[in-house]
Structure 1
Amino acid sequence: MKKIVKFGIVGLGRLGRAHAENIAFKIPNAKLIAVCSIDEREVEEVQNSWGIEYGYTDYDEMLKNKNLDAIFVSSPSGYHCEQIKKALDAGFHVFSEKPLGLYLEDALEAMEAVNSHNDKIFMLGFMRRYDRSYAYAKKKIEEGHIGKPVLIRCYGLDPAPAMEGFLKFAKNSYSGGLFLDMAIHDIDLARWYMDSEIDKVWAIGGAYEYPEFNELNDAETGAAMAKFKNGTMGIFVAGRNCAHGYHIETEIIGTKGTLRIGTTPDKNLVTVFDDRGINKECAGGFLERFEDAYLQEVKEFVDCVLNNKKPNVTVEDGVLSTIAGYAFKESFETGELVEVKYLETVNI
């Protein structure tokens, strides 16, 4: 049995660089031996700084490297599906960042590719399931501590200082919109906690401070109510203009109790007492808030490759969340209640 999984990573942006660093330095039984980016300077900088053996600006060339065991896809979202399929066809295990695809047709093609390569391990980066607090809440639900979950409330709010960068990106690339790009994590968590698929959804939202969102046919802040197939309920709030920081909060109300995760988005356990009063600083972004979760999910993937077992997050999770996300988007754009239409090819 192999003792080390040798990785090549494509995409060295902010999140890709963090993943690359985790693989290179923080995960036992994992080794980063190849990096790929269309930016030659990024490739050279990482190679020289970390002593990485192989560097590429052409993804197809990296896939010819037979010293690799697995490909980590952390490129812009629009490339995920094609790169997943190519990596599987080339004989590699694949870990892909979310989303599975920006378009449902692409996500379904990726699912078909994954399912036609059953000998390969595939995992999708829904990292919140690997956050210690979220995993602990799931355990409490399974142990019956709150009875039957009947309602989930999810807040996903990006920090206001990130707005300029996001608008610049969104005007040049298709992000999928607020519900597919941001709320997709909350949709996945809701499916996981409520143990059911979303049946109907009604979404609203608007551009309240930044009219540029109207031009993008997107919402600066949006909200949705959902009914699950098992009759339970969901409330989702997503926004890109949170003044106090990166605010991710989840509440699960059950018949015998309630769980809350992240009620205040604390940066750490320090409380500051000064002339402003009593203050706690907030997390500044997703890399800071979910730093450990990003590490734990890849550890899980490595363990699955080494022991030939399937991860808990599957390609179907990506497809089902995408289907629900498109229903959210449709409801926001039309103002109508939307019934989520699942496909016979996807098990629910």
Structure 2
Amino acid sequence: MLATLFRLMLFLMLFYPRPIMPAEAAGKQVIILETMPVHVILEGSAVFQETLHIIRDSVDFRVLKADGDPDRATRLLKNALAEQTPDLVVAIATLGSQVAHQLLKDTDIPWLFFTVTDPVGAGIVAQINQPSGTNVSGRVYGIERKTKLDMALRLVKDVSSQRPLRIGFIHTDYPSSQGDKGMLREAIGGHPDFSFVPYQIVYQAVPEKLPELLDQVREATRKLAGQVDYWWTPVGPLGERDEYVKLLVEETEKPVLMATNLRGPQLGALLYLGPDIPGQAREVAALADSILSGEDAGSIPITMPKSFAVGLNLTTASQLGIVIPADILDIAGGNVYK
């Protein structure tokens, strides 16, 4: 009897071997390159990881923190690629995405970017609203600048006697801020109700050199005194800082018309109109899942995110004599502050 059972077991092992687990069951390796520790990047990275984990269980993340240093970003990503070829690289913000482009452009490794204001100007892709045809796709961080200007004008057109309205834009030479300046300049150039007053300062690493940056901002506000009607904060590491918005709100006589993020209206800026950070990250997580499932990154169009958010400060609006239109209040939802 035992001999018979043994022969049966041997037969089953030889002719019905244990099935091999499909490749999809193996953990996919995803490298995330975070440009610097600012809110928009940290929140985007966290939501991206959380969402992709919900979509698919079998994914392992390796997070690289560049701390705003391109040499560090290059070194970290080079070392990670040398240790293991990942299934996907995700770069968050302009500096990290430029590094990823340089290291991955001649490889077959797919990669995604997001929180990049001007990927064309940054040399990452040739055009947006089209597939790249290479190994990259992503989401552009922003909303058309003309759309922002149109909404801002709806709020201030009845309370501003100055025409055109002079928009002060104190920015650094950081790549994403330069891209933002170029797009805003182009939009204002075709908008007769606005004129553009940019002022460039030298970028220094945030947060270590933030006090020095803020001193440069103070000096810029003094030099621009009498030349601007409203401030517009730039995309980039300076514009993301609460301290920058607070300085403009508390130390100058002109209001902040447009903030870079949703915290701006909480600090006194009149308006925020831009990408919804969690929504953008969830969109990119869906793209990542498609690529990890076999879709070609180069076939996925590079677009602006579908989800956006509006923030308002009612106290600032009241001080300016502005009555917020009901439809804008509805769009803002819970992002209305006093």
With normalisation by structure 2, the TM-score equals 0.42
Higher strand share: 1
Work out which of the two has the higher radius of gyration on C-alpha atoms and give 1 or 2: 2
Between structures 1 and 2, the one with greater helix share = 2
